[in-house]
Every structure is written in structure tokens, then in C-alpha cells.
Amino acid sequence: MPRRFDSETTLSWVLSGLAGMTGATAFTHSSGYFVTFMTGNTERAVLGYFSGTPQLALAALALIGAFLAGVVIASLLRRHLWKRHAHGASVLTTVALALSTLLDLELNGWTGRDVTLIPIALISFGMGALNVSFVRDGEVSIPLSYVTGTLVKLGQGIERHLSGGTVFDWLGYALVYLSFIAGALVGGILALATSGAQLLLATTAVCAVVSAYTYFHLDRARTVVG
């Protein structure tokens, strides 16, 4: 994390909140599918057969594959197409969420409560792409939906602060974590009053606004400065 909170750091909080909100959308309007928690999906894929829920195990495998595909495709686009747009991955997330919303409308209607597996898989793809938004030296520098990784970095930062560092060694990661919680809370509250398609549309709209800002303003400003 930088020693000051610049526009990119602030963006990480916004995108982490978006990841939390999107995860809440999928979880509350489905059979408890995870689109941000691949550890949970992996355990479900293995243990589902032992707990008598093989259909959930297969669904978990599908979501893992979709998430991985999102990471790979976003990374390829970043390397070959988005050389001047460091955060272009959020555009791919917006497209995935929009397609998920349209498909859910077709399958379940405007007032349908549940979001079925195929739209959820598209959301998982979008979350994989979103995690490629912050890359340094070819590796993800700020995990947006990987909460376990964020907590590990937070703990390491606290240790560095206690050993003579500064509050900036951990505060940025704490805010990323809190942003994820805030996003999940907003998604959960909205889920009480909306259908699956309605909440998906709201999430897509938020993602589209953030993507437009980063693509046309923040990334352009970084290019000019560079």
C-alpha cells in the first residue's frame, strides 16, 4: 500500500465494495453460491459428494472455472489491449454483469427471486476479471475479493507498524476489508426489497459508472502524467 491515499487507493476501496455487493447479490438470490469465495467453492466441490449434494459440487466447479477464465481473459486483455488502461478489467466485469442481468431477466423475469446458475457463473467470471484491476510487476497487488489475502496483508502490516513502521503499513488494507463488508451489507439490505434481476441491474449500474470513471478519467490522467 502507498504511504498516502491517492486516487488509485481510493478506487481499490470502491471496487472492493463493489465486489462485496456483487457477492451478496449472488449469495442472497441463489442457493448460496459463492462468486468471490473460491476457497469455499473448492471445499464444496470436494465435499459435496460426501454430504449428499453432488449438484452443488458440480456448480462449485463451474463457478471456479468461470472465475479462473475471468482472471485469464482479463490478464490477456490487460497485456495486449489495455496497455493504457491499467484498470480496464472493470470494463469486462461490467459486460459480464450486464449479460448476467439480461440472462436472468430472460430466465426468471423482473420479479423472480432466484438467480440461477448460468447468470451466477457470469458474475463469477466478472469477479475473476475484477481481481486483475490492480497489478504490479505482473502480479495482483491488491486482492479485491480475496478477503483471506487481505487479512493476511493486514496482519503483516500491523506487525510492521508495531516493529517501527507507520499506520500506512496496514490502514489501506483495513479500509479495503471494511469496504468489502460495507458492499456486502448494502447488497444484503437491497436483497430484502429487490428481486434477483433488480439487484443485478443495480450492481451493473454501479460497476458501469466506476468503469467509465476509471477508463475515461483516472487511466487517462495516469497516462498523461506518465
Cα distance between residue 65 and residue 88, in whole Å:
21
* pLDDT digits 0-9 by tens, 127-144: 999 999 888 888 888 888
Mean pLDDT, the chain, rounded, equals 89
Domain ranges of the chain: 7-216
Q: Give the separation between CA 49 and CA 180, rounded to whole angstroms.
A: 31
CATH code reported for the domain at 7-216: 1.20.1250
**C-alpha to C-alpha distance for 35 and 77, rounded to whole angstroms:** 21
Write out the chain's pLDDT in tens, 226 residues.
555 667 778 888 999 999 999 999 999 998 788 999 999 999 999 999 888 889 999 999 999 999 999 999 999 999 998 877 777 889 999 999 999 999 999 999 999 999 999 999 999 999 999 999 888 888 888 888 889 989 999 999 999 999 999 999 999 999 999 999 999 999 999 999 999 999 999 999 999 999 888 877 666 555 544 4
Coil, strand, or helix at residue 82?
coil
**Per-residue model confidence (pLDDT) at position 137:** 81
List, for residues 181-198, the tens digit of each pLDDT value.
999 999 999 999 999 999
Q: Tell me 47's DSSP state.
A: H
Number of Cβ atoms within 10 Å of the Cβ of 52? 8
